[in-house]
Amino acid sequence: MPTFTYVARNPQGKVITGKTDAATQGMVVKILKDQGLTPTSIQLAAAVADTRSAGRKQKLKRGRVTIEDLVLISRQLATMIRAGLPLIEVLNILADQVDKLTLKLVLRQIERDVQGGSSLYEAMARHPRVFNQFFLSMVKAGEASGMLDAILDQVALYMEKAASIRRKVKSATMYPAAVSVFAVLIMTLIMWKVVPVFQEIFEGLGGDLPLLTKIVIACSNFVRDRWYIVFAVIIGLVIVFVQWGKTKPGRYQIDTFKLKMPIFGPLLLKVAIARFSRSLGTLMRAGVNILSALEITAKTAGNVVIEEAVGRTRLAIQSGEGITKPLAESGVFPPMVTRMIEVGERTGALENMLHKIAEYYEDQVDAAVSGLTSLIEPLLIIVLGSIIGLIVISMFLPLIKMLELVQQSGRPK
């Protein structure tokens, strides 16, 4: 007869663990209920041993928990809870399946906390570096409403959309960044190796060089002889910029510039509006009240300008105003967004309207990324071609001048 291990609670709520022999899992449930115990987890002893053995053999990855990891956890939690598995068993299975050491340790700790009587929200809230305020609020709302599986599906959908937008923006910025780095390396190589060769030729020829050639040669000499100064200045500027960006005024100025910068500004604004609408709509659909939903949305906005606008909206609602007026007065949200929110607020379908806004702007991000890629490519070619062409022309100007002198001296007088 197979042996089962179980975790159960007695009438006083104390966690009881043990083993028992029975023909089926259903028989174990009956035995425990006859003893006045409520089972929370039942597993074959052999299966538990195999699982632990597999866990020891599993090669775990290191690194921080990503949004893709949280999507996977949300989906699996929702599926197994919907299937009727006890929460402790669900957490045990998840901990066995994940391949990241950090996440495995966190899930094991959550499993122990839940076994000790904590709710899932309370157990997850002890790990703020893994689960952000949005995730925790959704879990809390799911437990309070008894719809944890459905709300976890909404969490997964939200994070999938957020991850998709992040990937698209990253792909749009990676290309120009990579090309720019490559171009800087090429120009450094030209200044370091090619220009000095021409400089030696010009010194052998003698004569006065054109102004453009002198400037390029001076830059080349500076790069070769004072490269450490350039390097130190770049590192210093980066450190100063990073430290300034950590201050409140600095971060506000940077985030304002991001939304107003040419080419990329409109794209980042669309991303911010899509994120705001999706976050607020998802929280409201989960049953989170409007004030708490706005507070969480502000904290997860990712942009100080948006965060302050949402914060002012929250204060206005506390004073008895509607959501539309303060959003419109912020100057951040386009009129179409505020009008749609006004209609949603007036008709009592605000959460549905927010989701429609999110879908619209997510489609706009797709179109903007495609257009951005096709726009940036020719611009980069023009800029880089102009810089490299300028260097090449500056090197050939003295040669052209020399050829003209030779031709003039060879003509009969």
Assigned token pair, 138: 């959704």
By percentage, how much of the chain surpasses pLDDT 90? 1
Domain covering 59-131, topology? Receptor-associated Protein (1.20.81)
Residue 80 has pLDDT above 70, yes or no: yes
Residue 42 host element (H or E): strand 38-44
Q: What is the pLDDT of residues 201-246, one digit of tens each?
A: 777 766 677 788 888 888 888 878 887 887 898 899 999 998 988 8
Specify the 3-state DSSP secondary structure of 342. Answer: helix
Band of pLDDT at residue 53, cut at 50, 70 and 90: very low
Would you say 270 and 276 are in contact if contact means Cβ atoms under 8 Å apart?
Answer: no
Higher pLDDT, residue 16 or 41: 16
- Give the residue-averaged pLDDT of 166-177: 76
CATH number for the 161-413 domain, one of 2.40.30.10, 1.25.10.10, 1.20.81.30, 1.10.645.10? 1.20.81.30
- Using alpha carbons, select from 36, 26, 35 the residue that is nearest to residue 4: 26
Question: In the structure, what pLDDT confidence band is assigned to residue 158 with cuts at 50, 70 and 90?
Answer: confident
For 221-281, strand residue ranges (E) read: none
Q: Which pair of tokens denotes residue 45?
A: 């002893």
Instruction: State phi, psi for 41 to the nearest 5 degrees.
Output: -155, 130
Distances from the Cα of 261 to the Cαs of 225, 257, 258, 264, 373, in angstroms? 36, 6, 5, 6, 17
Q: What are phi and psi of 233, to 5 degrees?
A: -65, -45
pLDDT at 240: 92
Higher pLDDT, 336 or 377: 336
- What pLDDT score does 48 carry? 47
Architecture label for domain 1-57: Roll (3.10)
β-pairing, 38-44 vs 15-21, is unpaired
Average pLDDT over residues 86-91: 84
**Rg (Cα) of the chain, in Å, rounded?**
32
Mean pLDDT over 259-276 rounds to: 84
Percent of the chain with pLDDT over 70: 89
Q: Is the dihedral of CA 77, 80, 86, 89 positive or negative?
A: negative
Measured distance CA(400)–CA(402) in Å, rounded = 5
Give the Cβ contact number of residue 98 at 10 Å. Answer: 21
Confidence tier at 54 by pLDDT (50, 70, 90): very low
* End-to-end Cα, the chain, rounded Å: 120
Tell me how far apart the alpha carbons of residues 368 and 168 are, in angstroms, rounded to a whole number: 10
Domain ranges of the chain: 1-57, 59-131, 161-413
Does 59-131 match 1-57 at the fold level?
no
For residues 152-168, give the mean pLDDT: 82
